[in-house]
Structure 1
Amino acid sequence: MKFNALIPELSVKDIKKSKWFYIEIIGFQLEYERTDDKFAFLSLNGAQIMIEEVNGFWNTGVLEYPFGRGINFQILTNDIQPIVERLIQNEFLLFREPTVNEYKSKHNLIKELEFLVQDPDGYLLRFSQESSS
């Protein structure tokens, strides 16, 4: 496995609950884990994240819900709809409903269908797919 140049590591309150959310609900794959450290390395369509149960080693301040204030993680996928359906079936509230957004880049206009959801610890996740509409 090739590691990305940037891989966020998220502190989580309950590693089992977070693994269930990311793997069973979102669709990430478990690449490897260190159960003694309550750590997991996950991937989805080339996106990579690490999750580790809060242990006090990395805290620069008090951790309060929602974790990760001021940041959202954009994760590209081929089709957001199955993820949305699993979230709704499991009674997760979407932070933002699926919407087509346009973003200007240096040479063109990018259109993406995207939605946002908070994970069990409040991290804001933005799932997007290319949109032709």
Structure 2
Amino acid sequence: MTDTIWARLVPELTCASVTDSMRFYCDLLGFQVLYERPENGFVYLCLGTAQIMLEEEHSDAWTVGSLDRPLGRGINFQIEVDAIQPIHDRLRLASIALFREPNEVWYRQDEVEHGQIEMLVQDPDGYLLRLTELLGTRTVSRV
């Protein structure tokens, strides 16, 4: 673990079941466990350089309001992956409904566009995840 580069911003998501969430993130999306504290219902996961913490709901949690389902309304987490298709295949085999099917999109930054294939899916607690496979850049076309 000494080689791990810890991200400077890591979301910690409250979940109903760490076991169910770990199964989703690890088995279907491809995350790996960096460490866990099962006695506290906590796990720290990574996928490449993306990192996320999951904590099971409990009475001493740092919640600032009621946890109505789906959780995470008003936010989506972009997670860069090497390839969308294998994840899409695993989600389909697990009968997980997608929020949005894979789609090629281009986002402008000044005179350059950044391309990606993106797919949106909700985790077991309703957090919206935008998985992206980078396609590269191109010059903005002027019509």
TM-score by length of 1: 0.96
Provide the residue aligned with 1:55 in structure 2.
58
Q: Residue 121 of structure 1 aligns to a residue in which SS?
A: coil
Q: 2:29 is matched by which residue type in structure 1?
A: I
Task: Choose from 102, 106, 109 the match for 1:102.
Answer: 106
Tell me whether 15-24 or 55-64 shows the greater mean CA deviation: 55-64
Provide the residue aligned with 2:141 in structure 1.
none
Q: Deviations over 1:6-61 (max 9, x none)?
A: 00000000111001111111110001000111100000011000000011321111
Provide the residue aligned with 2:128 in structure 1.
124
Does the alignment pair 1:71 with 2:75? Answer: yes
Q: Deviations over 1:59-88 (max 9, x none)?
A: 111101110000000000110110010001
User: Aligned-residue CA RMSD in angstroms?
Assistant: 1.3
Task: Choose from 83, 87, 90 the match for 2:91.
Answer: 87
Structure 1 position 123, deviation (Å): 0.2
Provide the residue aligned with 1:115 in structure 2.
119
Q: Based on CA coordinates, which of the two structures has the bigger radius of gyration?
A: 2
1:107/1:45 CA distance change after superposition, 3 Å: farther
TM-score by length of 2: 0.89
Q: Deviations over 1:78-100 (max 9, x none)?
A: 10110010001000000000001
Aligned residues: 133
Provide the residue aligned with 2:42 in structure 1.
39
Task: Choose from 9, 16, 21 the match for 1:18.
Answer: 21
Structure 1 stretches of 4+ moved >6 Å: none
Structure 1 position 131, deviation (Å): 2.3
Unaligned residue ranges in structure 2 (runs of 5+)? 137-143
| Matched-pair identity in % | 44
Unaligned residue ranges in structure 1 (runs of 5+)? none
